[in-house]
Amino acid sequence: MKGTTVAALLIVLIIGSSPFIAARGVQKPVPRDEFLYTYFSQVLERFGDSLKYTLNGDPYGLTLANTTLYELDLLREEIIYYQSRGVNGKASEVLPPFYSFSRNLVILDELMLEYYNTSDPALVVGIRNTARDMESILREIENITLLNGDEVLRFDTRKVDSYLRRVIETVSSRKPRITNLTLSVTDNRPILNETVTFFGATPENGTLTLIIAGENVTIAYLADASNGYFSVKHTFTELGNYTAYAVQGNMTSNKVHIQVRKIPTSFIVTGETSAVINTTLTLKAKLVDYYGNALANRTVLVDGVPIMTDENGTLSRDYFSPIPAVITVPLEFEGDKTHDGTATNVTLVFRKIAVSISLAGPDSITAGKTGKFHGTMTPGLNTTVLIYVNDTPAMNVTVTNGSFSFILKPKKPGIMKVYALFAGDPLHEKAASNTLIVTIEPVQSSLWRYLLVLLIIASIGALLVVGERSEKPSPFRLKRSEKPIQTPLPIIKFELEPREIPEDVGEAYTMIRDLLKERLGIPKSLTPREALRVLKDWGHYEDLRKVTEIHERWVYGGMKVSAEELVEFMEAVKRLMGVLA
């Protein structure tokens, strides 16, 4: 999918995991629309800024409108991708009115800037009608209901509303003298089945006729002019070139030329694009048109091989590689009578099998004493790992069925950093374990603590004995009804507090994404799928992929997760936490 700027939205329902108790989330999901709300609230801010600049005659308003429309177009493609996988999230309900408003905003900005430059009275009705259409769309946006738990979230459209009223007031307050019958159109290069608005100005009120003449068809509309303005909406259902003009009495307007284009198309990759070596990777893609309709029974060239799309517009082809490889697969659709062609390249990656290493050991060791360390490797290989102590190679250790152990005997007090590295092999990726920080305590400190304890015990014992033998009451002697006051010795612990995994699925994944940003610099603005694409060569990719897939099914699609899948999910999260935290 193109563009990472879109990601802020589709990360809105962020993944989660925890120990097995995350099953409570599977039973009853908690609505988490605050990210959707934040993203689209920012889009509303941009709508308002665009209108503000345009009202001041600044072309940057149009630039901002086009940039926002482009971003929403990318988001629209992302939503189509998820829908093709059976996922219909809240974003698919929220986007349509914002997308419609964005398209109208581009038209309105263009008309306003042209009006400032030409003062053409015919543009007034186009500006007013477009602005009023946008006001209606704002009412739809206001009625959208989002939830953050039990809290209801609604969009604040007041700023945009005020700018739209100013647009209407600006053009309505000007009373240009209308001397000719003039005609304009909102888009002179529409695509097939798109609706445009013809509008104009006339020195006379009353009825006029709009003629739209094509190569094979001529259409006539009757329109009523009011206060010198008129407008007509028309949907083009046939391709070709058209000429439109208005007639009123003895007056004939200027001619407007329209070219109706074929409907644009695009490919949406719906399957995985990476796999481990010696496995089959199925490339799956869907051919859709601009309106999101699947194009069935169309021939697509996949790496030069013709493949027919099925009834859902989907095509597939299997790939296999015994070695790590990057394969570029071109997809090409030549188009048909009503649809434009499209082409793209899909990158398939065959990678080595990911390996993860977990290392455990003591928090502290007395200098001169031994400490035993244990490690596990997934998958369970028979190989060797290199142990590093304070970033220096210390020893090679044999791994049997994924398990290994070793002993370290530090000589001097201080801090010791211990971790294991696997160099990789023809089938498996390189891997590094988590790092253990071990405190090496001096021998003297242990001896003095031992002598101090003995001294305290001996002193207390002596006092008690003296008190018992003395005939006179002693201020240190306890009455029989009293108990000795026990003051515990302070205990100093050297340990690293583990980061707890939240119980809620969404919160736990948020923590994973936070850690990916902290440790690996992966922006949180990326969608889960885009984050996977960036980390496709990471040694712990498989665990992240497992977590992401289950999250997409649960959070985006609201699908149930089996107990077995949940266990896999939890184990993958624990391993990721071991590496990242």
Task: Give, in degrees to the nearest 5, the angle at Cα 345 between 341 and 347.
Answer: 155
pLDDT of residue 15: 30
Q: Is the fold of 31-260 the same as that of 265-351?
A: yes
Show me where the domains of the chain are located. Answer: 31-260, 265-351, 364-441, 505-580
The arithmetic mean of pLDDT across residues 533-562, rounded, is: 75
For 364-441, CATH number out of 3.40.980.10, 2.60.40.10, 3.40.50.970, 2.40.160.40 equals 2.60.40.10
User: Distance between CA atoms of 10 and 17, rounded to whole angstroms?
Assistant: 18
Architecture of domain 31-260: Sandwich (2.60)
The pLDDT value given to residue 75? 85
Specify the pLDDT at position 475.
44
Q: Say what the pLDDT of residue 31 is.
A: 56
* Section 269-276 average pLDDT: 88
State pLDDT tens for residues 200-211: 999 988 999 999
Output the CA–CA distances (angstroms, integers) from residue 233 to 127, 196, 218, 221, in the order listed.
14, 6, 15, 10
According to the per-residue pLDDT averaged within each range, which of 4-13, 496-505, 527-536, 540-549 is highest?
540-549
Q: From residue 192, how far is each of 189, 263, 295 by CA, in Å?
A: 10, 6, 15
Q: In a 3-state reduction of DSSP, which class is residue 176?
A: coil
> Which tens digit of pLDDT belongs to each residue from 89-101?
788 889 999 999 9
Q: What is the pLDDT of residue 255?
A: 96
Band the pLDDT of 535: cuts 50, 70, 90: confident
Please tell me which residue, 521 or 41, carries the higher pLDDT value: 41
Mean pLDDT in residue range 32-36: 79
DSSP state of 79: H
Reduced 3-state DSSP string for 294-327 = ECCCCEEEECCEEEECCCCCEEEEEEECCCCEEE
The CATH homologous superfamily to which domain 265-351 belongs is: Immunoglobulins (2.60.40.10)
Rounded Cα distance between 508 and 503, Å, is: 7
Is-above-0.85 flag for pTM? no
Place of tokens 């290069």: 189
> Stretch 229-234: mean pLDDT, rounded?
92
Q: Above 70 in pLDDT, residue 554?
A: no
Question: How would you list the strands of the sheet with 371-378, edge to edge?
Answer: 356-360, 371-378, 403-408
Flag the least confident range among 48-52, 177-181, 344-348: 177-181
Per-residue pLDDT, averaged over 249-266, amounts to 95
